[in-house]
Chain A
Amino acid sequence: MRHTVVEDWSRGSSTLHRRAAGAKLLTLAVFLVLLASSHRRLVVLTAALFALLVWAILAARLPVRGVLSRAAVVLPFSGVFAVVSWLSGDHNRSFELILKSYLSALAVLVLVGTTPLPELLRTLEIARVPQFLLTVMQFLYRYLFVVLDEASHMRAAAASRGGMTFGAAAGVLAVLFARSYSRAEGIHRAMTARGFDGRFRALVPRPYSAADGQFAAACILLLLLLRAATEVLH
């Protein structure tokens, strides 16, 4: 199943995988902001950033071709706007849209390809993201593939009966809705049976180590230098 690929990637054991989620998240944030705010010598900067990301992919022992092609998912959308911009005479914008959207997607992919989502969610708590929202995301992720499987079974069943009409599709969604609701009730019963009292308590995450701090500092420094270089060499 294609949608479990990122999850398999995230469970590796390279040095990058072992770095704390917070350090990687911070690095990503700096990366994205530097990229987004850059307009001069963009091609040079993006080439350098691309090289950096490919190095990270190799260091994380992820499949280079797989990661690069998955990030390309953004290209159809950006491509359309790039073409429109080009035809309107805004050539710079054209390049910007393609390069920035692709690189940003690639960078995010490197983060989630080296960090299991539950760990990432726990880190976001520190960034003052509402705990309730993070818990919702946690459960969404847990049951995403379960419900996707249900849906694909129903779709296959309909296909083997000669396809779905509009009304039949609405019926499928209604059944899926009802089943999901019912599943949530079952989950609540299972939680109550094990003493749930209204508050989710998490296992304490791994403590930060010096290596995490060094990693973040080194990466951020490198990124700032790259950006400064493109500004100065303009």
Chain B
Amino acid sequence: MTSVVEVRGLRYRYPDGTEALRGVDFDLQAGESVALLGANGSGKSTFALHLNGLLEGEGMVRVCGMEVTRATLPAVRRKVGLVFQDSDTQLFMPTVLEDVAFGLLNLGMTSEKANQRAQVSLEQVGMSAAPGRAPHHLSAGEKKRVALAGILALEPEILVLDEPTTFLDPPGQRALAELLRNLPQAKILITHDMPFARATCSRAVFFREGCVASDGTVNDIAGRFGWDFSDR
């Protein structure tokens, strides 16, 4: 089993001085799905932003064998697909198709090829019906799927989703869980949603105050910290 993500001793301080991460160690294997649980401010999202180099901290972050440095950023960002919590921020192009094609065009792909690949990705998430639609006409669930398509088009090996079930109703959550289960990539799901974590992941990592407090199966972690994240 190959390690697709290796993090050792990751530390990060916000510009105002507060410590967000205090030495995080983390591993992820190919094809593995792990839920990142923890209270607000525990460092989960901050941690995720280091995986594709949007934040730069101290310590080592290795993605698919490459260390994350300025030079490797373009390559790293092809390997790690980050789906942000706010779909409106993620879908910034005027139409669905243009948004999914955005990353592909940045890679230097021709218009026709980008068009084709974008259509394929939209089919993968079940949103191939209307590529010309404007994002603000989509429901929350549809937006999330298009956001995912935009990432999948780049053929990453690791998917990172930040609070993907925010704004989704239970049927929407179930559809998303179903979709994710059928994707072969390794996944990191930052979530507060225990049922969703159970439905999609076998492993869970519990963050507390910028550190990894516990790492085990979803059931173990759920048992230890419960629905309200207090130590049992």
Contact = CB atoms under 8 A, between A and B. Distances in A.
Interface of A: 4, 7, 11, 116-118, 138-139, 141-143, 145-146, 183, 186-187, 189-197, 201-204
Interface stretch (B74-82, B185-193, B213-221): B74-82
Nearest to B112: A204
B95 interface: yes
Interface string B88-122: 11101111011001110111000110110000000
Given A7-B134, A191-B102, A194-B154, 13 more contacts: A118-B98, A139-B92, A142-B92, A145-B136, A146-B88, A186-B86, A187-B92, A192-B54, A194-B106, A194-B151, A202-B98, A203-B101, A203-B114
A186 B77 CA distance: 16
Interface in B54-89: 54, 74, 77-78, 82, 84, 86, 88-89
B41 interface: no
A195 B107 contact: yes
B94 A195 contact: no
Contacts of B49: 189
Contacts of B154: 194-195
A138 B106 contact: no
17 contacts: A4-B137, A118-B98, A139-B92, A142-B135, A143-B88, A183-B89, A189-B84, A193-B54, A193-B82, A194-B102, A194-B150, A195-B77, A195-B103, A195-B154, A196-B102, A203-B101, A203-B111
Label chain B's interface by main secondary structure: helix
A139 B136 CA distance: 12
Nearest to B103: A194
Which of the four size classes fits the interface of chain B? 35 or more
Contacts of A118: 94-95, 98
A190 B81 CA distance: 10
B173 interface: no
A201 B134 CA distance: 18
B135 A186 contact: no
A191 B115 CA distance: 18
Given A116-B132, A118-B94, A142-B94, A204 B89 contact: no
A4 B97 CA distance: 20
Among A117, A141, A183, A186, chain B packs the most CB atoms within 10 A around the CB of A186
Nearest to B133: A11
Among B97, B102, B137, chain A packs the most CB atoms within 10 A around the CB of B102
A193 B52 contact: yes
Contacts of A139: 92
B88 to A, nearest CB: 6
Interface in B22-69: 49, 52, 54
A145 B202 CA distance: 40
Contacts of A142: 92-94, 134-136
Given A189-B54, A189-B84, A194-B154, A201 B89 contact: no
Contacts of B114: 203
A118 to B, nearest CB: 4
Contacts of A201: 105-106
Nearest to B78: A195
Contacts of B112: 204
A7 B134 CA distance: 9
Given A142-B92, A195-B74, A203-B101, A186 B106 contact: no
Given A186-B89, A190-B89, A194-B103, A203 B54 contact: no
Contacts of A146: 88, 136
- For the complex of A and B, list the 7 residue pairs with the smallest distance between their C-beta atoms, beginning with the closest: A194-B103, A118-B94, A195-B106, A186-B89, A204-B111, A201-B105, A190-B90
Contacts of A4: 137
Nearest to B85: A186
Interface in B133-172: 134-137, 150-151, 154
Among B52, B89, B93, B105, chain A packs the most CB atoms within 10 A around the CB of B89
A88 B46 CA distance: 69
Nearest to A141: B94
Among B84, B88, B92, B95, chain A packs the most CB atoms within 10 A around the CB of B92
